[in-house]
Chain A
């Protein structure tokens, strides 16, 4: 027998009521302080949709209202639960009064008790994520580890990671910390504002399980539309869950305070406690027990909260394990457009690089995703009017039989979805016949992404004959630039993007193993850099940059400069051709070097050239003798 539910709530939760893309999950930020006379004062009360509130109201975030700066410091409840009459009935009078005082002083103690005890309550759920940074496979179960056997096993996806299990709280509201002694808002001038980066995960139980209604583009790119999928938005605090340098919030179950660092035993509450709060507790002033309870209330309301480092107040228990940190988040149901591309396990760099190595696989997938997102929101000719506030995207790995790869998924941000992606998918399906591998640029979304990633929109600075840097358009940039991928929506993830890797991955998706044949002159600057490197080595002075036909890039109108815009195809030294290869490739011939190595570890190229005898070898070279 399920619990009775309010009919309107039921309809709303199951997305049966029209929302007109407005948030139906408003979360408030309330600054509850005291006036000088000790009365309740609501300085600020405002609300936002849960998704936005997770980043804009979360602890550590500065909020400026009417020129006054507040900093969120914990959770807030408008109407905290209190002990029921039945619960109080069996208690002795003094205990009954004490329980009532407790519920007023510690507004969250009953609330935590309720959400921990109620398995149907979705306020406290659990997040199980593979701890391998390159994997992050997320389980579908929202139940604790003790009820999720697969969370105790090795990750099926990467086969090496173990799962991190983290309690996830859907916040009811947020509030700044309040000084207990006078009920004023705690001064924020000494504290550091925190910028949050929310992450979205698409948990899945069965690897590779996805509806089979795909449209295929080129050799490997499959596009699918799936509806009604449950996604998770997470605010993991200052650090990311996969970064291992600390994440989540410590918490006090008595007052709802949250902190990135260890929450001190004694700490301010995120609310003031006016004397009126006791008014509705029914504690009489004319009995000894009542007077004792009131005295206790008056002492405690002007003192800081103290959790005594007691796990009962600072941890959520599951199966004998204590969890002293939680993350904030929400689950939501939405429509998802999925681009699935396999990763070439045999020839590409590993999807699980060694510690400290660049994760080229992840970078290429994320870069491609961002360009596809731009392809959807930036192309007005689609006629769908999809804006950046409507959709977002992320990547996840998949594994299916003996294939592994990436799913680049774009989802509607509003809970329930409003059919924008469905319309887009239908349009792409209808126009699928128009897709031409010989001329993919004309096809919507993919063509736009390909053009951006190829560097056609980039702008670079190239030295002229005098060494002066001249702006050159339509010349691929080295990393990312404002012409291709860098904008306000990607600036926070700049280090995780690389235009070249994304471009090569899209070419691989379309053309398969032969993708390098479609690179044209886009790696010209890399070949030039290799030439410069080899020329600087002893014995490499005679290295020659071999030029191709045409030019790469154009000067701005009216600009004249003595500048060599010929593309470089490879470097020649002692009749041997040396090239820079795609960063995606792992096992290369002796005369080819990965772009990633050229940019991040050129010493390796030096060693390789020395070992092959192409340049002068140092005397103490370590070799088999």
Chain B
């Protein structure tokens, strides 16, 4: 019986190398440029923590979701309580970063939008009966989710149990995501959510439900955006929960669990510690990623037009290219197509025929011009 966490299982399913702990030199040190990835991570962690505080401390008391309650969390005396909670979560490793009251207020404004939207959308399933955030999967004994896999640790971001007037119970399992802009890169998180749903089905006491109640309940899984762009409706993605598909995933994940083989795909990003490390992953190829500047489809398909998509990309320079602050910073592709890099804060002359791995928000402006706000960039060895 394989004993694991949801995160490790979903990584193992996609790529053996990604699932392995990083043991080389500290990653990102040789980057030509990078946005501090720890600050992005801390930002995500802080959003999770604020949501946890709201759901467990406030919303679960009166079983309602209301953005106004959230606004009050960082006001006046309430701030002290919230601060204590966040400090206790932060610990010596500071996963939440150096947060301030102002940061929290800014983030809470974004989260309020999600809470209000969720409140409206959940009404169709009835009244909220139970709310829990960061539900631990540690129950004293491992939760068996298939013939060969059991889960011994992990937390579910949020679960809502609702009941309609006919007594029908609906369980909503939510995984918060900072961004869902790149729909093609969510496989890992969908798989994680499937594991959570299996855990709940097999151990309903996690939600104070009986086995009989969970058998008759409807269960839905969602990846939900916490803090998308201002003025927009929060984005969400529904997770499929076809039993045969989940079984196949678990079986494959178990098979590949100890593998160290790299498999490139849309899951590749700077979240994988091998993507930009000194000993970087050599398996990534442009055509395996969501965005491939060398392919016609990127320059013609509607899905890439006029909206920002966060993605890892890899491409080869055709001619010598100068990257510098204030410069045009254009990468040339076949047929006169141009990628203009923004946020370049370094000077580097890159010869032709060099492979560049870059991550950031990409938008195709016209059929000949695209932009990329660079967050990470590395010139790979020749």
Interface residues of A (CB under 8 A from B): 131, 154, 159-160, 162-166, 237, 239, 241, 244-248, 262, 315, 321-325, 345-347, 349-350, 353-357, 399, 401-404, 586-587, 590, 594, 596-597, 601, 604, 607-608, 623-625
Asked if A597 contacts B324 (CB within 8 A), the reply is no
The smallest C-beta distance from B69 to any residue of chain A, in angstroms, reads: 13
Residues of B within 8 A of A624 (CB): 121-122, 124, 220, 222, 236, 238
Query: Besides the contacts A162-B343, A350-B106, A357-B231, what 16 more A-B pairs have beta carbons closer than 8 Å?
Result: A166-B325, A245-B328, A247-B326, A323-B325, A324-B327, A325-B325, A345-B105, A345-B109, A350-B109, A354-B229, A354-B230, A355-B373, A357-B229, A586-B231, A623-B121, A624-B236
CB within 8 A of B102: which of A165, A345, A353, A625? Answer: A345
Which of A245, A247, A347 is most buried by chain B, counting CB atoms within 10 A of its CB? A245
Q: How far is the CB of A408 from the nearest CB of chain B, in Å?
A: 20
Known contacts: A159-B103, A244-B342, A246-B328. The answer to whether A356 contacts B113 by CB under 8 A is no
Q: A346-B109, A587-B109, A607-B233 are in contact. Are A246 and B326 (CB under 8 A)?
A: yes
A-B residue pairs, 7 tightest by C-beta: A354-B229, A402-B101, A248-B326, A325-B326, A244-B342, A247-B326, A402-B102
- Nearest residue, chain A, Cβ from B34: A162
- Which residues of B (84-123) have their CB < 8 Å from a CB of A? 100-103, 105-106, 108-109, 112-113, 116, 120-122
Most buried by B among A246, A262, A601: A246
Q: Are A586 and B106 in contact (CB under 8 A)?
A: no
Known contacts A323-B347, A353-B230; is-contact A345 B106 (Cβ 8 Å)? yes
Contact B109 A402 (CB under 8 A): no
Asked whether, in the complex, the Cβ of B36 is within 8 Å of the Cβ of A325, the reply is no
Contact A594-B342, Cβ < 8 Å, known A246-B328, A624-B236: no
Nearest-CB distance from A576 to chain B (Å)?
15
Does chain A have a CB within 8 A of B361? yes
Asked if B35 is an interface residue, CB under 8 A from chain A, the answer is yes
Nearest CB of chain B from residue A477's CB, rounded to whole Å: 23
| CB of B308 within 8 Å of the partner chain | yes
Whether B343 lies near A587 (C-beta < 8 A) is no
Q: Are B230 and A349 in contact (CB under 8 A)?
A: yes
Residues of the B chain whose Cβ atoms lie less than 8 Å from the Cβ of A246: 326-328
Contacts of B327 in A (CB 8 A): 246, 324-325
Residues of A within 8 A of B124 (CB): 624
- A154–B105 touching, CB < 8 Å: no
Inter-chain contacts of B210 with A (CB < 8 A): none
Q: Are A154 and B326 in contact (CB under 8 A)?
A: no
Asked if B44 is at the interface (CB within 8 A of a chain A CB), the reply is: no
Nearest Cβ on chain B to A316's Cβ, whole angstroms: 10
Instruction: Give B337-371 interface residues, CB cut-off 8 Å to A.
Output: 340, 342-343, 345-347, 361
Residues of B within 8 A of A404 (CB): 102
Contact B231–A596 (Cβ < 8 Å): yes
Q: How many A-B pairs fall under 8 Å by CB? A: 109
Q: Complex Cα distance A596/B230, Å? A: 11
Q: Does B252 contact A (CB under 8 A)?
A: no
A331 to B233, CA, bound (A): 45
B67 within 8 A of A: yes
Q: Offer 28 A-B interface pairs, CB within 8 angstroms, sorted by A.
A: A154-B36, A159-B39, A164-B325, A164-B326, A166-B325, A246-B326, A262-B322, A315-B347, A321-B346, A322-B324, A322-B347, A323-B325, A324-B327, A345-B105, A346-B75, A346-B109, A349-B230, A349-B231, A355-B361, A402-B102, A404-B102, A586-B230, A587-B112, A590-B120, A597-B231, A601-B231, A604-B231, A608-B233
Check B294 for interface membership: any CB of A closer than 8 A: no
Q: Nearest chain B CB to A450's CB is how many angstroms away? A: 28
A587 & B345 in contact (Cβ 8 Å cutoff): no
A262 to B329, CA, bound (A): 11
Separation of A556 and B326 alpha carbons in the complex (Å): 51
> Please, which residues of chain B bring their CB within 8 A of the CB of A325?
324-327
Contact B230 A162 (CB under 8 A): no
Residues of B near A239 (CB, < 8 A) are 326
In the complex, how many angstroms separate the beta carbon of A385 from the nearest chain B beta carbon? 41
Rounded to whole angstroms, the CA-CA distance of A607 and B236 in the bound complex is: 16
Give chain A nearest CB distance to B373 CB in angstroms: 7
With both beta carbons as reference points, the residue of chain A lying nearest to B340 in the complex is identified as A245
Check: B135 CB closer than 8 A to any chain A CB: no
CB of A123, distance to nearest CB on chain B (Å): 20
B327 — nearest CB in chain A belongs to which residue?
Answer: A246
8 A Cβ contacts from B50-74 to A: 67, 71
- Which residues of B, 214-255, contact A by the 8 Å Cβ criterion? 220, 222, 229-233, 236, 238
Contact A154 B342 (CB under 8 A): no
Bound-state CA distance A262–B340 (Å) is: 16
Q: How far is the CB of A405 from chain B (nearest CB, A)?
A: 11
Q: Does B231 lie within 8 Å of A131, measured CB to CB?
A: no
CB pair A402–B106 under 8 Å, yes or no, is no
Pairwise interchain contact A321-B347, C-beta atoms closer than 8 A = yes
C-alpha spacing A610/B188, complex, angstroms: 33
Chain A residues with CB below 8 A from B113, complex form = 587
A584 CA to B152 CA in the complex, in Å? 48
Are the CB atoms of B230 and A357 closer together than 8 Å?
yes
A179 to B343, CA, bound (A): 37
CA distance in complex: A579, B95 (Å) = 42
* Closest CB in chain A relative to B114 CB, distance in Å: 11
Binary contact readout B182-196 vs A (1 if CB under 8 angstroms, 0 otherwise): 000000000000000
For residue A350, which residues in chain B have a CB less than 8 angstroms away from its CB? Answer: 106, 109, 230
Cβ contacts under 8 Å, B347 to chain A:
315, 321-324
CA gap between A404 and B222 in the complex, in Å: 35
Contact A166/B326 with A160-B39, A353-B230 known, Cβ cut-off 8 Å? yes
